[in-house]
Amino acid sequence: MTDATLDMRETDPARTTYAILGAIACCHLLNDMMQSLLAALYPMLKAEFALAFWQIGLLTFVFQLTASLLQPVVGMVTDRRPFPWALPLGMFATMAGLLVLAAAPGYGLLVMGAGLIGIGSSVFHPEASRVARAAAGRRFGMAQSVFQVGGNFGTALGPLLAAAVVLPMGRGSVAWFAVAALLAMAILVQVSRWHAREHLAARRRKAAAGPALPPARLRLALGVLLALLFSKQVYMASMSSYYTFFLIDRFGLETGAAQRMLFLFLAAVAFGTVIGGPLGDRIGRRTVIWISILGVLPFTLLLPHASLFWTGVLSAVIGVILASALPAIIVFAQELLPHRVGTAAGLFYGAAFGVAGIAAAALGLLADASGIVFVFNLCAVLPVLGLLTVLLPRKSEMG
C-alpha cells in the first residue's frame, strides 16, 4: 500500500478511526484519574496543613473555576486558530499541577496546583472531544460515548489508587502519578500528529453545510440543551455526593454497604454512557434526549419512597437512562455548530463541570437546613425539564 493510499484511508471522513478513539479514551482515563486525586487528597491535606473547611472549599473552587470557565474559551480560540498540539501541552499542565501538590510547602502552592490541574482539564476536554469527532467517521455518538466512558473509569480509579498508594506512602507519592501524565503525553503526541494531518485533509474537502437554523432558533436550541444538561448534572451531583448519606439516613446502612450501593449506581452510569452515543446514531439524538431526561422521571420520583432493594434497582435504572443523555447532548450541540465543534464541546463540558460543582455545594447547604431526604425529593422532579426537548429542532430543520 502506498503512502498516498494510507493518507487517504487515515483521513477518509466516512471511516471510523478506532485506534485514535481508543487512544483518546485512554488519555481521558488518565487525565480524569489524575484530576480525581485532588479530592481524594483532601483528608490528608487538611490534617497536614491544618486547613479549615473553607480552605478545602477554595481548592475545589479554583479547580472548578479553571476547569469550567476556561473550556469554552479554549474551544473558541482553537476553532479560530486550530492547534493540534494543545493536547500534550494541556496534559503537561496537569502533570505540573500534580508535582506542585506533591511538593508544596504551603497552602498557596496547593491552590496553584489545583489551578494547574484545572487548566489542564480546560485544554484537554474540548480538544479531545474535537479529535473524537474527527475520528468518528459517521458514528459521532459512538465516538463521544467511547471518549466519555474513559473519563468515567478514570474518575472511579483515582480514589482507589489514592487509597492504595498515596495514603500509605504519603503526599510525596503523588509525584509518581506524573508517570501516567508522561504516558498520556506520549500518546497525545501521536494523536496530535494524526489530527494535524486530518485537519489538512478536512480543509481540502468541501466544507460541511452550516446550520439551517435562524440565529434566534439556534440560541433557543442551545439554551434548551443547557437547561437539560443542568437537570441531568444537578441530579447526578445529588447521587454522587449524597447518595451514601441518604442510604445511611433512611435505611441505617453501614458506610461500606452504602458505598457498594454507590458503586452500583456509578457502574450503571458508565454503562449508560457507553450505550447513549450509539443509540443516538441509530434512533436519533433528539429521541435519546427525550428518553434520557423525561423518561427517567417516574424512577426518580419513586426512589425516595422505595424499599432498600428497590432503591438499589431504581438507582441502577436511573444511572443507565440518565447517563445516556450526555453523549447525545454534546453531539447535538456540535451538529448545531458544525464549524465550531470546539466551542460546543468546551461550552457543554465546561457547563457540566461548573453545574456539578455548584450543585454539590448548594445541595449540601440544603441538606444541612432541611435534611437529606428533602434534597432527594426535590431533585426527583428535575427531570420534568425534559419537556423542554419539544423545543429542540428536528433533524430535517438542521439541514
Contacts of 19 (CB under 8 A, 6+ apart): none
Question: How many angstroms separate the CA atoms of 353 and 67, rounded?
Answer: 7
In a domain, 183, yes or no: yes
Residue 267 has pLDDT above 80, yes or no: yes
What is the C-alpha separation between 99 and 393, in angstroms, rounded?
A: 47
* Number of separate domains in the chain: 2
Q: Does residue 399 lie within any of the structural domains?
A: no
pTM: 0.79
Structural domain contains residue 398: no
- Same domain as 245, residue 113: no
Q: Measured between alpha carbons, how far is 116 from 101 in angstroms, rounded to an integer?
A: 10
220 part of a folded domain: yes
The reply to whether 294 and 355 lie within a common domain is yes
The pLDDT, as a whole number, for residue 14 is: 58
For residue 83 the three cell numbers come to 492547534
Higher pLDDT, 399 or 283: 283
- CA 373/CA 249 separation, integer angstroms: 8
Domain end position, chosen among 158, 180, 204? 204
Tell me, yes or no, whether 194 and 244 share the same domain.
Answer: no
**Rounded to whole angstroms, how far apart are CA atoms 81 and 177?**
32
**What region, left, alpha or beta, does residue 393 occupy, with left being phi > 0 and alpha being psi -120 to 50 degrees?**
beta
Does residue 210 surpass a pLDDT of 60?
Answer: no
254 and 323 co-located in one domain? yes
Confirm whether 363 is domain-assigned.
Answer: yes
> Once rounded to an integer, what is the mean pLDDT over residues 106-112?
93
> 63: domain CATH number?
1.20.1250.20
Which has more pLDDT, 369 or 96? Answer: 96
Asked if residue 207 has pLDDT above 50, the reply is no
Per-residue DSSP letter, 383: G
Residue 201, pLDDT score: 57
Which domain range does residue 114 map to?
A: 3-204
Helix and strand numbers (H, E) in the chain are 17, 0
- Residue 9: the pLDDT is 44
Return the exposure string of 360-383: e unless at least 16 CB atoms fall within 10 Å of the residue's CB, then b.
beebbebbeeeebeebbbebbebb
CA–centroid distance for 329 within its chain? 12
CA distances (Å), origin 284, targets 95, 273, 322, 328, 335: 39, 16, 16, 9, 12
Are residues 198 and 74 part of one domain? Answer: yes
- pLDDT higher than threshold 90 for residue 134: no
Same domain, 179 and 295: no
Question: Is 297 domain-assigned?
Answer: yes
Distance CA 23, CA 185 (A): 11
CB 349 within 8 A of CB 52: no
pLDDT digits (tens, 9 = 90+) for 378-388: 999 999 999 99
* Residue 4 confidence (pLDDT): 39
Same domain, 48 and 156: yes
Q: What is the end-to-end Cα distance of the chain in Å, rounded?
A: 37
Lowest mean pLDDT among 31-45, 212-226, 293-307: 31-45
Contacts of 275 (CB under 8 A, 6+ apart): 145, 320, 324
Output 105 or 341, whichever has higher pLDDT.
Answer: 105
Within this chain, do residues 133 and 229 fall inside the same structural domain, yes or no?
no
Residue 6 has pLDDT above 50, yes or no: no
Residue that terminates a domain, selected from 182, 204, 226: 204
Q: Are 73 and 40 in a shared domain? A: yes
Measured CA to CA, the distance from residue 382 to residue 375 in angstroms comes to 11
Pick the last residue of a domain from 204, 235, 252. Answer: 204
Using the predicted structure, report yes or no on whether residue 186 has a pLDDT greater than 60.
yes
The answer to the question of residue 154 being in a domain is: yes
Q: Are residues 132 and 248 in the same domain?
A: no
CA atoms within 13 A on the CB side of 59: 27
Mean pLDDT of the chain: 85
- The band of 130, judged by pLDDT with boundaries at 50, 70 and 90, is confident
| pLDDT tens readout for residues 324-349 | 998 999 999 988 988 888 888 888 88
Is 210 domain-assigned?
no
What's the confidence (pLDDT) of residue 343?
86
Of 128 and 57, more confident: 128
Q: Domain check: are 243 and 194 in the same one? A: no
What does the pLDDT look like over 9-49, one tens digit per residue?
444 555 778 899 999 999 999 998 888 888 778 778 888 89
Question: In the prediction, which pLDDT does 60 show?
Answer: 78
Please check whether residues 284 and 355 belong to one and the same domain.
Answer: yes
Q: What is the DSSP string of 289-324?
A: HHHHHGGGHHHHHHGGGS-HHHHHHHHHHHHHHHHT
pLDDT value at residue 367: 87
